[in-house]
Structure 1
Amino acid sequence: MRTSIKLVLTSVVVAFLAVQWTTPRLNAESLKGARVLVTGASTGIGEQIAYHYARSNAQIVITARREHVLQQVAEKCLSLGAQKAVYIAADMANETDPDEVVNFALDKLGGLDYLVLNHIGSSPFSMWDGDLEHTRWLMKVNFFSYIQMAWKALTSLEESKGSLVVVSSLLGKMPSPFVAPYTSTKFALNGFFGALQHELAMKKSNVSISIVTLGLIDTESAMDKVRGITSVPAYPAEEAALNIIVAGATRQSEAFYPWFTHIAAATREWFPSITNYFVRTSYSYTP
């Protein structure tokens, strides 16, 4: 056990140094005038992504379900320097809405340079109760709509040598209790878009795919679920959003925030018993 722990600690130090030395840096000027579609942009990480693009003078289309909130975000994007900021309300569980959103963005912007897929459906933080209907619904929102929008936007991204950015989660690499339906959707995303990365590379496509793995982020919705239940630290949505943008702009195939989520994912493969122990003991749960 001690040897395993020493190996884990050594790996953490090496990985931290590697991240600091090799992480690409963002040239903000490269985003000026960029045509961007951001999903799940009314609150949380998606809202912060929109603001970062706005500060770089990009042209932005944002989408989420609540129109009145989207209007407020779009207005703030314009005040921050966006060349254009428009919105479209959509429900990603509706089979036609993902296509309509992409069509709207293509019409308003004349094409796409970045498609940032960030939206998620609401899911309880609890032991799975066998609710298959909720799991099917969540797969529609968190997975099927992603691949539907990616396919719809692919031609435009090919023409612009653009980037597809998929916001995933550490829970898509390392299973955790209380989130079985959610974690299944993130595993599906990682598998599908990981395979698509290979296929595009083999076809010598102009499109890059960046899969961004996030740890616990301090959005209101996330903190409401886990407060008092887990000791896992949460990290700022604004920083997470910036890392997502950097990953797409620098065409990284995979990125992690915070940096040690990379180690957590790798440790799950190297030392599954140790990792599972720490996962379970990080939650307050009494049967």
Structure 2
Amino acid sequence: MGTFTKILLASICVAFLAVKWTSPSFNKESLKGARVLVTGSSTGIGEQMAYHYASFGAQIVITARREKVLQQVAEKCLSLGAQKALYIAADMASESDPDKVVDFALEKLGGLDYLVLNHIGPSPFSMWEGDVEHTRWLMKVNFFSYIQMAWKALPSLEQSNGSLVIVSSLLGKMPSPFVAPYTSTKFALNGFFGALQHELSMKKSNVSISICTLGLIDTEAAMEKVKGVTSVPAYPATEAAMNIIITGATRQSELFYPWFTYIMSITKEIFPSITGYIMQNSYTYNP
């Protein structure tokens, strides 16, 4: 890569950080009564988003696979101030459940202002050993269900000047060992919804798309997987959830959380061999 390109990318990085200091201000009152569907909301980041939306007085539909846990989360949302807190159990690997969830939210809330797509399927944290079927299944859960739900919800979001919020990962911008199937789904999300951002803008659509790039978050599932394997720092799920909500509410096109995830994604383009070395040496491999 030439010197000019490196300087240009470094300038973009500085400009991004400058923009972050002047990003649109968040008005929590704007979420009072907002009609919100959050997927993957029985635990982790999705659960924390549900609680934040509830505290702002939103009307919420939450979904995940475990109905009993969803009921508990919904009850807590009501105690925190949600105007409505409804739940529907669903399996995002199903052909019909993604549409069923959106239809449920539209019927119960009378429309949508925010569709927050956050769910993921379980995947081993290990070297890939040729399990193509698992990769195909994971792509169905982590990618195809996202685009299915987005398409189903777009007409309502168009009517409400709404927002589509996509929870992605730094692993969708720079590959990492031990997560080949997972990182492939996140690259697919970034590519598809990045293209859709352009298309909606070209059509003068009322719908904004926010793509949220997250680093390692201290959810129970993530911490269990990386225990003893990496020393990469983890960041609080509740803070990540709040940043995602603010990004959607202020209609920003991107979120990088924590902030250094942006630096890492840019550095990969400037110094690929160095970032590759750092990535491989951030993990412990015991054959």
* Fold equivalence (TM over 0.5): yes
1:60 aligns with 2:63: no
Contact kept in structure 2, 1:170 and 1:261, CA below 8 Å: yes
Mapped to 2, the partners of 1:259 and 1:25 lie a distance apart of 18
Mapped to 2, the partners of 1:87 and 1:203 lie a distance apart of 33
What is the match of residue 220 of structure 1? 220
Mapped to 1, the partners of 2:161 and 2:12 lie a distance apart of 35
**Structure 1 residue 26 displacement after superposition:** 1.4
**Structure 1 residue 270 displacement after superposition:** 1.0
What is the match of residue 47 of structure 2? 47
Contact kept in structure 1, 2:13 and 2:266, CA below 8 Å: no
**Structure 1 residue 63 displacement after superposition:** 0.2
Structure 1 residues 48, 199: CA separation in 2 closer, same or farther (over 3 Å shift)?
A: same
Instruction: State, as a whole percentage, how many aligned pairs show the same letter.
Output: 81
Greater shift in the superposed pair: 135-144 or 277-286: 277-286
Structure 1 residues 17, 256: CA separation in 2 closer, same or farther (over 3 Å shift)?
A: closer
* Deviation readout 1:142-180 (Å, 9 max, x if unpaired): 000000000000000000000000000000000000000
Mapped to 2, the partners of 1:11 and 1:224 lie a distance apart of 38
1:29 aligns with 2:23: no
What is the match of residue 266 of structure 1? 266
**Structure 1 residue 34 displacement after superposition:** 0.1
**Unpaired stretches in structure 2, ≥5 consecutive residues:** none
For the aligned residues, what is the CA RMSD? 1.7
Amino acid at match of 2:276: N
Amino acid at match of 2:131: D
**Structure 1 residue 19 displacement after superposition:** 5.8
What is the match of residue 237 of structure 2? 237
Greater shift in the superposed pair: 19-28 or 251-260: 19-28
1:137 aligns with 2:131: no
- Equivalent positions of 1:1-287 (< 5 A) are 14=14, 18=18, 21-287=21-287
SS in 1 for 2:146: helix
Number of matched pairs:
280
Mapped to 2, the partners of 1:111 and 1:53 lie a distance apart of 16
SS in 1 for 2:240: helix
Tell me the TM-score normalised to structure 1 length.
Answer: 0.94
Tell me the TM-score normalised to structure 2 length.
Answer: 0.94
Mapped to 2, the partners of 1:233 and 1:15 lie a distance apart of 26
Off by >2 Å, runs of 4+ in structure 1:
10-20, 22-25
Amino acid at match of 1:235: Y
**Structure 1 residue 184 displacement after superposition:** 0.1
Contact kept in structure 2, 1:38 and 1:61, CA below 8 Å: yes
**Structure 1 residue 284 displacement after superposition:** 1.0
Structure 1 residues 263, 136: CA separation in 2 closer, same or farther (over 3 Å shift)?
A: same
**Structure 1 residue 16 displacement after superposition:** 8.5
Structure 1 residues 112, 185: CA separation in 2 closer, same or farther (over 3 Å shift)?
A: same
**Structure 1 residue 12 displacement after superposition:** 11
**Structure 1 residue 263 displacement after superposition:** 0.6
Contact kept in structure 2, 1:12 and 1:260, CA below 8 Å: no
Contact kept in structure 2, 1:38 and 1:117, CA below 8 Å: yes
Mapped to 1, the partners of 2:134 and 2:200 lie a distance apart of 33
Mapped to 2, the partners of 1:136 and 1:13 lie a distance apart of 35
SS in 2 for 1:251: coil
Mapped to 1, the partners of 2:71 and 2:252 lie a distance apart of 31
**Unpaired stretches in structure 1, ≥5 consecutive residues:** none
